[in-house]
């Protein structure tokens, strides 16, 4: 039995999304910008998908801009907003636990002369509101702190950041990368009070190649891709309709199932932790597991790569952190100042709606076998 526990990297596309995508490719294949019947049909599908994403966020459809994924959406949010705010303050706040899709655009802005503050997490992997408040300045133009960390599952208090900005009557723009939280933990644009929110399709059983950025009306976004008036002038290029339709279908179903699936996944995570502690007493659980979908563990006497290779050979697929890091040490775990042997022995186990107790048992059993036969 193969066990896929790397869902924070990418999920299996659900059948309903595949069916919708096939229909979009084989029947409604017109360009959404065309004025004839096929174009109008495609445009209707595009807007229906936009409405689905908007509904799940509790937003107005006109605030949703489709992109090729979370990385592009983050770039549009940060670079686009920074260009629109160039006459305002030069200070930016972010965290040391951000995904590379946020870190790299901010580094580019730093190279352009922006003053950037990188906040360190606490022992649970979160950026406390007090830490944020102490770094917020009168000239802070832009903030980007993720909602759910992709390595540890820690959930940051984004609403508290927004409340502090409002309390000081600042014009600071707040962005959050919510890719790991969308249709997984409950939130809306109102509950976060963020100006910009990034979401992605392939983390919630939709296809790769589609994502979206929520931008409220007060943020002026400069487009990164020019050459047409697609996406209300914010992102030129014919929309990848099949991927967007699959995204919309996955969001509709994922949002409807959010509570029930979340409870089931949380129970599975707790079961897995119990089995790990029972069968492998030396295991270290990293973080407090705010998100039920991510479980970060460590076996300090082993190397992550060795454990991963053994598990993979037995049909068990986990990771040691974000896929974009290509096997490098997790910046989030380093920022938490964990002992080097804990970081070097860390594994990320990430669940989905399709994960089962039998798979968890197989994972724990195989990991225990690895600790018994591999060289420490």
Convert the pLDDT of each residue in 15-44 to its tens digit: 999 999 999 999 999 999 899 999 999 999
Beta bridge partners of 196: 175, 215
Per-residue pLDDT band at 330 (split at 50, 70, 90): confident
Convert the pLDDT of each residue in 340-361 to its tens digit: 999 999 999 999 999 999 999 9
Are residues 301 and 130 in contact, defined by beta-carbon separation less than 8 angstroms?
no
Per-residue pLDDT band at 172 (split at 50, 70, 90): very high
Are residues 183 and 200 in contact, defined by beta-carbon separation less than 8 angstroms?
no
pLDDT above 90 for 84:
no
What are the chain's domains? Answer: 3-11+258-373 (3.90.1150.10), 15-256 (3.40.640.10)
pLDDT at 334: 94
Element containing residue 298 per DSSP (H, E): strand 294-298
pLDDT at 184: 98
CA 130, CA 336: separation in Å to the nearest integer? 17
CA 182, CA 102: separation in Å to the nearest integer? 17
Q: Half-sphere exposure of residue 16, counting CA atoms within 13 Å on the CB side? A: 10
CA 360, CA 317: separation in Å to the nearest integer? 12
Q: Which residues contact 229 (CB under 8 A, 6 or more apart)?
A: 236
**DSSP-assigned letter for residue 143:** E
Mean pLDDT of all residues in 6-16: 98
Q: Is 193 assigned a catalytic role?
A: no
Mean pLDDT of all residues in 299-310: 95
Q: Look at the alpha carbons of 346, 151, 162, 137 in this order and tell me if their dihedral is positive or negative.
A: positive
Are residues 371 and 299 in contact, defined by beta-carbon separation less than 8 angstroms?
yes
Mean pLDDT of all residues in 75-79: 97
pLDDT above 60 for 326:
no
Token pair for 131? 């830490």
Q: Which of 63, 193, 301, 324 is catalytic?
A: 324
pLDDT at 13: 98
Extended strands (E) in 8-69: 64-67
CA 296, CA 104: separation in Å to the nearest integer? 24
Q: Which residues contact 9 (CB under 8 A, 6 or more apart)?
A: 319, 322, 323, 350
Convert the pLDDT of each residue in 213-265 to its tens digit: 999 988 989 999 999 889 999 999 999 999 999 999 999 999 999 999 999 99
Per-residue pLDDT band at 192 (split at 50, 70, 90): very high
Convert the pLDDT of each residue in 153-168 to its tens digit: 999 999 999 999 999 9
pLDDT above 60 for 324:
no
Closest CA to 58 of 175, 189, 244, 214: 189
Helix (H, G, I), strand (E, B) or coil at 121: coil
Pair type for strands 196-200 and 173-177: parallel
pLDDT above 70 for 327:
no
> How many other CB atoms are there within 10 angstroms of residue 371's CB atom?
17
CA 139, CA 87: separation in Å to the nearest integer? 11
Closest CA to 333 of 125, 126, 104: 125
Comparing 79-93, 162-176, 183-197, 361-375, the range with the smallest average pLDDT is 79-93
pLDDT at 310: 97
């Amino acid at each position: 039995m193969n066990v896929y526990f790397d869902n924070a990297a990418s999920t299996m596309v659900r059948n309903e999304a595949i069916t919708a995508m096939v229909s979009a490719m084989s029947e409604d294949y017109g360009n959404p910008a065309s004025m004839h019947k096929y174009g109008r049909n495609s445009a209707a599908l595009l807007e229906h998908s936009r409405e689905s994403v908007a509904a799940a966020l509790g937003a107005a459809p006109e605030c949703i801009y489709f992109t090729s994924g979370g990385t592009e959406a983050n770039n549009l949010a940060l670079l686009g907003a920074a260009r629109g705010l160039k006459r305002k303050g030069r200070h930016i706040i972010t965290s040391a636990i951000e995904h590379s899709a946020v870190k790299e655009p901010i580094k580019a802005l730093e190279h352009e002369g922006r003053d950037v503050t990188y906040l360190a997490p606490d022992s649970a992997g979160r950026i406390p509101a007090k830490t944020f408040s102490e770094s917020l300045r009168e000239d802070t133009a832009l903030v980007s702190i993720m909602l759910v960390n992709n390595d540890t599952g820690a959930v940051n208090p984004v609403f508290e950041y927004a409340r502090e900005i409002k309390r000081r009557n600042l014009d600071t723009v707040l962005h959050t990368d919510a890719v790991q939280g969308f249709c997984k933990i409950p939130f809306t644009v109102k509950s976060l009070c963020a100006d910009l929110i990034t979401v992605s399709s392939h983390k919630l059983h939709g296809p790769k190649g589609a994502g979206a950025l929520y931008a409220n009306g007060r943020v002026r976004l400069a487009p990164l891709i020019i050459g047409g008036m697609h996406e209300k002038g914010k992102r030129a290029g014919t929309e990848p309709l099949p991927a967007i339709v699959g995204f919309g279908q996955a969001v509709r179903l994922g949002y409807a199932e959010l509570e029930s699936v979340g409870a089931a996944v949380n129970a599975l995570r707790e079961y897995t932790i119990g089995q790990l502690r029972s069968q492998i007493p030396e295991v270290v659980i990293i973080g407090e597991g705010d998100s039920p979908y991510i479980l970060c563990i460590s076996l300090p006497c082993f190397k992550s790569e060795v454990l991963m290779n053994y598990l993979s050979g037995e049909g068990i697929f986990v990771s040691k952190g974000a896929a974009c890091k290509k096997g490098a040490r997790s910046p989030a775990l380093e920022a938490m100042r964990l002992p080097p042997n804990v970081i070097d022995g860390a594994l990320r186990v990430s669940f989905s709606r399709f994960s089962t107790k039998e798979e968890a048992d197989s994972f724990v059993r195989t990991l225990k076998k690895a600790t018994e036969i591999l060289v420490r």
